[in-house]
Amino acid sequence: MNDAGVLGRRIKALRKREGLSQVDLAKRLGVSSSYLNLIESNKRPLTAALLLKLASELRVDLATFAPPEDTQLAADLVEVIGDPIFESLGLNASETRDFASQNPSIARAMLTLYRAYVSERSDAQALAERIAEPGGAQNAANAGLPSEEVSDFIQRTMNHFPTLEELAERIARDAKLDGDDVYANLVRYLGARHGITVRLLRVSDERKAMRRFDPERLVLSISEVLPPRSRRFQLAHQLGLVEGSRELDAILADAPELTTKEAHALARVALANYFASALLMPYEPFLEACRAERYDIELLGHRFGTSFEQVCHRMTTLRRAGREGVPFHLLRIDMAGNISKRFSASGIRIARFSGACPRWNVHSAFLTPGMIRVQISRMPDGMIYFCIARTLRSDRGGYNVPHTVQAIGMGCEVRYARELVYADGVDIEQATVPVGVTCRTCEHLDCAQRAFPPLLYPLKINENVRGVSFYSPVES
């Protein structure tokens, strides 16, 4: 994402949040409206003096205009100080952002320390719960979070791996995957190139594993409960692990975020999934289809024989230089609100240490299973995003076999909204919903769904006054 482009759009968003026209703000800054227009269009740089004036007139601190990586660091630290353990220290968001911008190395060290604290706290809670059970002490296990390290790795690389794209394009040509029978062609290729036999397993033979590969016998078993799209994806995934082993190793060798063998193993799975998506949804044909069909996820799934979630993931990988797609963010949650996947190419901030804001439409997707919900989300920094969300149902079946239900949400800056079919008929200018990142760091004081008091307003109880929520400050 271009840093200058982000700065110009951020100034415009903050100006609109204050209800100011370009003429009004230009007068306050002592510049012409045409010059301000050039700044917002990223055609003129900002001087230090003008930056100070902007921060004052738009009522924000200077960290708001920092580069994306500095903004991310500051936002992470602000979320950390929202933990109740810091409440008695009287810390505030503005001071924390200033500290992070002036002391980035110390800020990163504090984040590392906090992650370790959260992990140890989680371990202690899990241990206490297991010890309380009969024989629990022997079953206590480490509750580390390698998934967080993998998420950081994916975010740093912007979820784009050119070597895997090139590998997928070569194999697609060699395996002749441009025909209709992709599954049969993949089976033939695995047999001819690697001597691997593919067989379908009955549920009675294997009730849990969806895919199992025996490297000694060279047998790849796929569960019969998987629909055709998932069978193809599992074949492509295993092919990535077998033929793309060298490419995967090279990518993981340059991943300082991955500090444990568990994180490395999980990242390898994530990269194999990336390869499978690239093989089944080749970059150029998929990008052209996205543009032609205006990112209609269900239609694209039918065309490429992939699932709703697989299409969503593939959309976030379209970052090839000069051939980029719409920059999306993506998150996946369960019914308890736990975030199991997160990635942001749109610039939106997704919670790392707390639950996501309940106003996000990804939560309300559970109210209408299978239906796509649309939301225009206005964040506290003034940026506006066009977001869609839908529930996902697991690919497993049979009587008395429970299905898991999750929800996936994705979106982009509102300026890209008209490129998406889901924006048709939506009043983008008026239908915005104020959304935060987490309750503790959110500045929306009139939210009736608050679960915690805002960081900048300590909890004050007046038994004779009731606000929109228990935690919203009310003037006496």
Percentage with pLDDT > 70 across the chain: 85
For the cut 60, the answer to whether the pLDDT of residue 141 exceeds it is: no
For the cut 60, the answer to whether the pLDDT of residue 139 exceeds it is: no
The sheet that has 219-223: what strands, in order across it?
197-201, 219-223, 211-214
Q: Is 321 a domain residue?
A: no
pLDDT confidence of residue 375: 95
Helix (H, G, I), strand (E, B) or coil at 7: helix
Predicted confidence band of residue 210 (pLDDT cuts 50, 70, 90): confident
pLDDT confidence of residue 297: 98
Domain containing 29 equals 3-60
Q: Are residues 112 and 38 in the same domain?
A: no
For the cut 90, the answer to whether the pLDDT of residue 233 exceeds it is: yes
* Phi, psi (degrees; rounded to nearest 5) at 407: -130, 140
Q: Are residues 176 and 138 in the same domain?
A: no
For the cut 70, the answer to whether the pLDDT of residue 475 exceeds it is: no
Mean pLDDT of 14-26: 85
Bridge partners, residue 199, by sequence: 221
Whose structure tokens read 């805002």?
454
pLDDT confidence of residue 399: 54
Structural domain total, the chain: 4
The CATH number linked to 34 is 1.10.260.40
Q: In this predicted model, what pLDDT tens digit does every residue of 349-359 receive, in sequence order? A: 888 776 778 89
Cα 167 to Cα 241: distance, rounded to the nearest angstrom: 12
Q: Are residues 200 and 114 in the same domain?
A: no
For the cut 90, the answer to whether the pLDDT of residue 49 exceeds it is: no
Q: What is the 8-class DSSP label of residue 199?
A: E
Q: Is 134 a domain residue?
A: yes
Q: In this predicted model, what pLDDT tens digit does every residue of 74-125 receive, in sequence order? A: 778 887 887 777 877 778 777 887 788 777 778 888 887 887 777 676 666 5
Q: In terms of pLDDT, which residue wins out, 341 or 7?
A: 341
pLDDT confidence of residue 122: 63
Q: Are residues 36 and 83 in the same domain?
A: no
Cα 249 to Cα 163: distance, rounded to the nearest angstrom: 11
Whose structure tokens read 């996936």?
408
Q: Are residues 244 and 185 in the same domain?
A: yes
Least confident range of 48-62, 220-234, 318-332, 408-422:
48-62
Q: In terms of pLDDT, which residue wins out, 396 or 436?
A: 436
pLDDT confidence of residue 180: 79
Contact 198, 213 (CB under 8 A): no
Mean pLDDT of 60-85: 71
pLDDT confidence of residue 364: 93
